[in-house]
Structure 1
Amino acid sequence: MTDTAQKRAAGDRYKWTALTNTTAAVFMSALDGSIVLIALPAIFRGVDLDPLAPGNIAYLLWMIMGYRLVQAVLVVTVGRLGDMYGRVRIYNAGFGVFTVASVLLSFDPFDGGHGAMWLIGWRVAQAVGGSMLTANSAAILTDAFPEEQRGFALGINQVAGLAGMFIGLVAGGLLSAWDWRAVFWVNVPVGVFFTLWAYRTLRDTGKRGGGRIDWWGNLTFAVGLSAVLIAVTFGLQPYQGHTMGWTNPLVEVLIAGGLILLAAFAVIESRVAAPMIQLSLFRLRAFTFGNLAGLAVSIGRGGMQFVLIIWLQGIWLPLHGYDYGDTPLWAGIFMLPLTAGFLAAGPVSGYLSDRLGSRGLATSGAVLFGASFLGLMILPIDFGYWVFALLIALNGIASGMFASPNSSSIMGSVPAASRGVASGMRATFQNSGTAVSIGLFFSLMIAGLAGSLPHTLTSGLHQQGVPADVAAQVGSLPPVSSLFAAQLGVNPIQHLLEPSGTLAHLTAAQQQTLTGREFFPALIAGPFHSGLVIVFAFGAALAFLAAIASGLRGTNPVIGKQPQEKQHS
């Protein structure tokens, strides 16, 4: 074999090694972003935390949002570090951090609030490692694969990341049915193996960008984006008699301060010699519109998953005879068509994008994504399962059609030396969209519930013999408490009436009705459907905006050509 043939064979082996390792990395990172969503009931029971106690809603929100917040804030920074010091070096370190944090998560030594804080803290550390993996994986692949195979490789990688998000919903239900700690154990053997393999086999093959750290840019971006996302978290919590906290002065200060810092960040990036984000990349049409489309789809996808989980666990499954303790497992099983649709469409669309181009596939996927939201919007609250399965399968297919071509278009449009930071920017749009989506969708859902839920709860309880003052007190609970109770497998009626002794004064039939698994779901079904219509209409609007942005991306992105950028001392 000639030297040229040997080099080509070695290059072929390396590119498949890089694809396998980075695919496992982004899969694990995304899996951990969603696996907790469906496993929260088991986790709260495992650390002995009362989900309806005052203040405990904050633990639940941070368990969900903390991971996404850190990933949204850090991916651009660690992508830039990869451009400067080597993408593989930063990537390998991220694998180690992620694995160590997974080990410590699975050994929570505390109970109650302290146990929740342990989990939140180490999930934040895990998100740091996940950011280092996510930001550099696409850049490593873009360096390793030739242009004609790049769409396929990036498509597989992107599909793996989103598949991890979808599969996490199923895995969380299955593992939490065995032991809540298994939700975190699952990462440990995989993490150890792939960490060692990455250190042994991966190498930097691309051009480094050089330069130095843009400290002011990093600081204003991290603090500004964190402030906005933290404000979203506080905005979901009740405040002084209001159903949500958007009137809380702290929320207003955080949002205003965060936006001011992000505006300062944009000014700084246009003036420094080595910016954290290369604003000149936004002159590339495919890069700009691809990221805008990706942001809109991420907002729609992340919030939809959360709403579907509450719908299944809190209403549909109990109405169909499933015990609250079993709903996480069955919710994961019944959402399998969503995962299957995505896994079927994702790799195929990545393969086709190399031959047919990205714009048509991505735009069609966004349109189908919006159509699935419209279908879910007209579905009755107590639906026939196969219609629901078809709609969520279409939603998964649409996500797969969009994700791979969109990622390939974005990464193929940037210069080689900027692939790390471009990958980080793409991931920031995606992670920010997912984090913001939970806040937006939850706010819309709570707004939909607030109009009718208090009256529905009060009258329903009073009809079952509950005294008017007690019924009014339960009915006045913030709607967010009812939503979280539904998701966490808690019957709030029994939980709230037992301490007051009200149940003991009712007839046996009334007690059985109130504490049964159908009374609360049937009671909130009407108000919940009002919220669903608002949420899914918003999701459809986002999807169609994504389709417009995707159509505007152009057809011939410039690969490897650096736009001229004015330098400042």
Structure 2
Amino acid sequence: MTRTTAAPATGRWAALAVLSASLLMVVMDMTILNVALPEISSSLQPSAVQLLWMVDAYSLVVAGLLVTVSALGDRWGRKRMLIAGFTVFGVASVAVMWADSPAMVIAVRALLGIGGAMIMPSTLSMIRNLFTDPRERATALGIWAAMAAVGSALGPIVGGLLLEAFSWQAAFLVNVPVMVVAIVAGLLLLPESRDPDPGRWDALGTVLSMGGMVALVYAIKHIATEGLDAQAIAAVLIAGIALTWFVLRCLRRPDPILEVRLFRNTSFTAGTLAALTTSIAMGGVLLLMVQWMQLIEGYSPVQSGLAMLPMAVGAAVVSPLAPALAARIGARTVLAGGLVISALGFLVLWIMPLALPSVAAGTVLIGAGMGSLAIGSAVIMAGAPAAKAGSAAAIEETSYEVGGALGVAVLGSVAAALYRAELPVEAAHPVRESLGGALAVARETGSTALAAQAKAAFTDSLTMTALYGGALMLLAAAIVWYLTPARLDLGASQH
């Protein structure tokens, strides 16, 4: 049984507002950087490697710390961990004022990653403990999931508007007032909860989880950009050895740092698989979609963000309704059905000629499918005892983090191969390397034919990648349907 300070009904929903708002800002911050990168590049002149580390530092730190921080939160107190995360995130955002070199920006991004790793699983595990009624919890998790979807869509819009009026530092400084409010509101509204019997701290398990996850995410990202070289193989081996050792260690200990035995619950596994596959498909296809909008359609960052709003609307509408729908037709139907609906959205992008109407139709379906996956969080949390809420939250967040990296690496690599296959073998390296490189060469040489050929090749690669993303979602839907019990009742969770 988890020790929790009781929260009255109104207090629970007020606390949810704090948790959801903080999640909104963290997710927005992830996507705002993509908009700010061009201005950061022109201002600080980073090398290609430094630019890559600006992007990757955040996800590497988050991936490495999620398991450890979640276990620490179970022991130290989830409220304390969340408030500390708000503080770290706010301090990192202020520190950008002194970031006058690429190395400093990388350091700020790493510090933001520490704060993000403290915030994201803490919000989930606190919802698990705040809302003891499973149906209320499912609704709360639906709202939480909606905030995540809205945040990812709002990031480019807010970032673009800020950068039109201010310098690139504004993309970071916007976090500061929100974190100050979150700290005050969190101290006043959030009850404390922790595992009363956490057992001994596993120092070796901590090292193995951090080293293994960082090596895994690094390997995925390195393979996506540099291919399978000696460095990537070494990282894969380190990740494989460390994570295998870590899992075996967790299975043997009575008080593991991560409760991997949760996967014995088939519905928990189904919810985790839904999170992972959604993140893979989204990470790969939407990255290509933003490039298509800006490099082929000529959209500004703000216009690109606005063009993705149908997805946020679909998710925001469906997420809070998903629990009631699950109560009526069954959690299995909603969970697997959400994957099918998102798959249909990807298939629309493959079948219909790419234009604003087809993109809007496809993304609203993707968003609606994602919204119904709010049930995935409810299923994951229902499958975990309250004392192990931190482990459940860490597993779900790790699924999203690794899924996003896999999506960019695997589907991104597939898209790159499809793009190169439509270009002449004798084309210059920059032309075959990326659409941006091809358009730059076309401008220098005045070749409109090259520009048209590169744009057509990229568009074809995007639509085919959408097909693969949709097929992956359909496969996942079938597995999730098989794994999730037909009569799974979110009103009968474990305690």
Task: Note the C-alpha offset of 1:204.
Answer: 1.4
Which digits, 9 at most, give the CA deviation of each residue in 1:512-542, with x for residues without a partner?
A: x45xxx7765231222134224421221122
1:177 aligns with 164
d(CA) in 2 for partners of 1:99, 1:366: 35
User: Contact 1:143/1:206 (CA < 8 Å) preserved in 2?
Assistant: no
Alignment of 1:220-299 (within 5 A): 220-237=208-225, 245-299=226-280
For 2:462, the aligned partner's letter is L
Partner-residue secondary structure (3-state), 2:227: coil
Task: Note the C-alpha offset of 1:194.
Answer: 0.9
d(CA) in 2 for partners of 1:360, 1:169: 33
Answering whether residue 335 of structure 2 is matched by residue 362 of structure 1, we say: yes
1:201 aligns with 189
2:58 aligns with 67
Alignment of 1:385-404 (within 5 A): 385-402=356-373, 404=374
Task: Note the C-alpha offset of 1:38.
Answer: 3.2
User: Contact 2:339/2:369 (CA < 8 Å) preserved in 1?
Assistant: yes
2:429 aligns with 476
d(CA) in 1 for partners of 2:378, 2:461: 36
Which one has a bigger Cα radius of gyration?
1
Task: Note the C-alpha offset of 1:546.
Answer: 2.2
Answering whether residue 104 of structure 2 is matched by residue 118 of structure 1, we say: yes
Which digits, 9 at most, give the CA deviation of each residue in 1:268-297, with x for residues without a partner?
A: 112223211112211111111110121111
Structure 2 counterpart of 1:421, from 391, 406, 410: 391
1:374 aligns with 347
Alignment of 1:29-48 (within 5 A): 29-48=26-45
User: Contact 1:416/1:560 (CA < 8 Å) preserved in 2?
Assistant: no
Structure 1 counterpart of 2:125, from 127, 136, 139: 139
d(CA) in 1 for partners of 2:424, 2:98: 38
d(CA) in 2 for partners of 1:173, 1:90: 32
For 1:134, the aligned partner's letter is M
Answering whether residue 494 of structure 2 is matched by residue 541 of structure 1, we say: no
Deviates more, 1:408-417 or 1:62-71: 62-71
2:84 aligns with 93
For 2:223, the aligned partner's letter is G
Query: Please, which runs of 5 or more residues in structure 2 have no aligned partner?
Result: none
d(CA) in 1 for partners of 2:463, 2:423: 15
Structure 2 counterpart of 1:300, from 281, 284, 287: 281
d(CA) in 2 for partners of 1:422, 1:541: 27
User: Contact 1:295/1:429 (CA < 8 Å) preserved in 2?
Assistant: yes
Partner-residue secondary structure (3-state), 1:236: helix
Partner-residue secondary structure (3-state), 2:384: coil
Deviates more, 1:88-97 or 1:25-34: 25-34
Deviates more, 1:143-152 or 1:348-357: 348-357
Task: Note the C-alpha offset of 1:308.
Answer: 0.7
d(CA) in 2 for partners of 1:18, 1:35: 26
Give the TM-score normalised by structure 1.
0.80
For 1:556, the aligned partner's letter is L
User: Contact 1:65/1:435 (CA < 8 Å) preserved in 2?
Assistant: no
Partner-residue secondary structure (3-state), 2:430: coil
User: Contact 2:435/2:454 (CA < 8 Å) preserved in 1?
Assistant: no
Structure 1 counterpart of 2:480, from 533, 546, 550: 550
Aligned length: 486
For 1:229, the aligned partner's letter is V
Which digits, 9 at most, give the CA deviation of each residue in 1:383-409, with x for residues without a partner?
A: 33222211111111111122x111111
Answering whether residue 326 of structure 2 is matched by residue 353 of structure 1, we say: yes
Task: Note the C-alpha offset of 1:161.
Answer: 2.0
1:467 aligns with none
1:150 aligns with 137
For 1:522, the aligned partner's letter is A
Structure 1 counterpart of 2:461, from 531, 545, 549: 531
1:57 aligns with 48
Which digits, 9 at most, give the CA deviation of each residue in 1:155-179, with x for residues without a partner?
A: 1112212321222132233223333
d(CA) in 2 for partners of 1:310, 1:143: 41
For 2:430, the aligned partner's letter is L
For 2:182, the aligned partner's letter is F
Alignment of 1:336-351 (within 5 A): 336-351=309-324
For 1:162, the aligned partner's letter is A
User: Contact 1:39/1:328 (CA < 8 Å) preserved in 2?
Assistant: no
d(CA) in 2 for partners of 1:212, 1:355: 43
User: Contact 2:431/2:437 (CA < 8 Å) preserved in 1?
Assistant: no
Percent identity over paired residues? 30
Alignment of 1:437-476 (within 5 A): 437-455=407-425, 475-476=428-429
Which digits, 9 at most, give the CA deviation of each residue in 1:93-121, with x for residues without a partner?
A: 1111111111113x1542xxxx3332222
User: Contact 2:415/2:465 (CA < 8 Å) preserved in 1?
Assistant: yes
1:469 aligns with none
d(CA) in 2 for partners of 1:219, 1:369: 37
For 2:217, the aligned partner's letter is L
Which digits, 9 at most, give the CA deviation of each residue in 1:386-440, with x for residues without a partner?
A: 22211111111111122x1111111012111111221111111111111221112
Task: Note the C-alpha offset of 1:126.
Answer: 0.7
Summarize the Cα distance change of 1:483–1:215 in structure 2 as closer, same or farther, 3 Å threshold: farther
1:242 aligns with none
Summarize the Cα distance change of 1:454–1:172 in structure 2 as closer, same or farther, 3 Å threshold: farther
d(CA) in 2 for partners of 1:362, 1:228: 28
Summarize the Cα distance change of 1:87–1:335 in structure 2 as closer, same or farther, 3 Å threshold: same
Summarize the Cα distance change of 1:399–1:137 in structure 2 as closer, same or farther, 3 Å threshold: same
Deviates more, 1:225-234 or 1:204-213: 204-213
Query: Please, which runs of 5 or more residues in structure 1 have no aligned partner?
Result: 1-6, 50-55, 238-244, 459-471, 498-502, 504-512, 563-569
For 1:138, the aligned partner's letter is L
d(CA) in 1 for partners of 2:53, 2:324: 38
